[in-house]
Chain A
Amino acid sequence: MGRAVSPGGARFKPGDCVRVRNDDRPGHIRTPYYIRGKVGRVERVYGEFLNPESLAFGGDGLPVRALYLVAFNQGDVWGAAQGPKDKVLVDIYEHWLDAEK
């Protein structure tokens, strides 16, 4: 279903620091509520996929969007009491991510 990211197609690469957008809008959203606004690191670039936010309403899913596996520290997501070495891994589409210094 997905396809390889064309050169320059993906804005981020593994290791990049990103912040999940804190958008809240109606429609079909694949970015879970608990991860919005959090800062993590790109683990993997899966490729480009049709946009589910469009497919959900019978659209063609274009333009395709790069999809990433992003790793977050458990503590940053659930609070300091969580295992400091554990990560939360979430699949996130590029239009939900901003570069974080």
Chain B
Amino acid sequence: MPRGHHDIGGLPGGGPIDQTEHVLSDWEILADAVNQALGEKGIKRTDEMRRAREEMDSEVYRSLTYYERWIASMETILIEKKILTRQEIDSKLAEFEKKWGEP
């Protein structure tokens, strides 16, 4: 089994880590808030979220930013626990896009 796409410590070629503080977008703060709310309500555990991100398609995982991965793992867990369906998420998304335009 090759190492997971998340487990890259010590791999050469990663370059230096950008340690400068960066401003979070509103949607990133919201993603964090939803994540915390799901935890408070006992709907998900941190370990489940990590597992969901580890199970993602590697190419997709690498193409997403930090909070995009968080959102994807929240969707996975909510669908897994039958709280939402893929269809419900997609149709809501389509509704928002119609209202506010393509992100």
Is the A/B pair a real complex? yes
A residues contacting B by CB (< 8 A) are: 24-29, 32-34, 52-53, 55-58, 77-78
Contact A28–B1 (Cβ < 8 Å): no
Q: Which residues of A contact B51 (CB under 8 A)?
A: 27-28, 56-57
Contact A57–B9 (Cβ < 8 Å): no
Jot down 11 A-B pairs with beta carbons below 8 A, ordered by A: A25-B1, A29-B7, A32-B7, A33-B3, A33-B10, A52-B47, A53-B47, A55-B48, A56-B50, A56-B51, A78-B10
Q: Which residues of A contact B45 (CB under 8 A)?
A: 55-56
Contact B47–A55 (Cβ < 8 Å): yes
Q: Which residue of B lies closest to A58 (CB)?
A: B48
Question: Does residue B28 face the partner (Cβ distance < 8 Å to A)?
Answer: no
Secondary structure at chain B's binding surface: helix, strand, loop or mixed? Answer: loop
Secondary structure at chain A's binding surface: helix, strand, loop or mixed? Answer: loop
Partner of B48, one of A24, A27, A56: A56
Given contacts A33-B7, A33-B9, A34-B10, contact A24 B47 (CB under 8 A): no
Within B12-48, which residues are at the interface with A (CB < 8 Å)? 45, 47-48
Given contacts A55-B45, A55-B47, A56-B51, contact A26 B7 (CB under 8 A): no
The smallest C-beta distance from B4 to any residue of chain A, in angstroms, reads 8
Q: Which residues of B contact A28 (CB under 8 A)?
A: 47, 50-51, 54
Q: Which residues of B contact A32 (CB under 8 A)?
A: 7, 9
CA A53 to CA B3, docked complex, whole Å: 16
Partner of B9, one of A24, A27, A34, A55: A34
The smallest C-beta distance from B61 to any residue of chain A, in angstroms, reads 15
Most buried by A among B10, B47, B51: B47
Known: A25-B1, A55-B45, A56-B47. 12 other contacts (CB 8 A): A24-B1, A28-B47, A28-B51, A29-B4, A32-B7, A33-B3, A33-B4, A33-B10, A34-B9, A56-B45, A57-B48, A58-B48
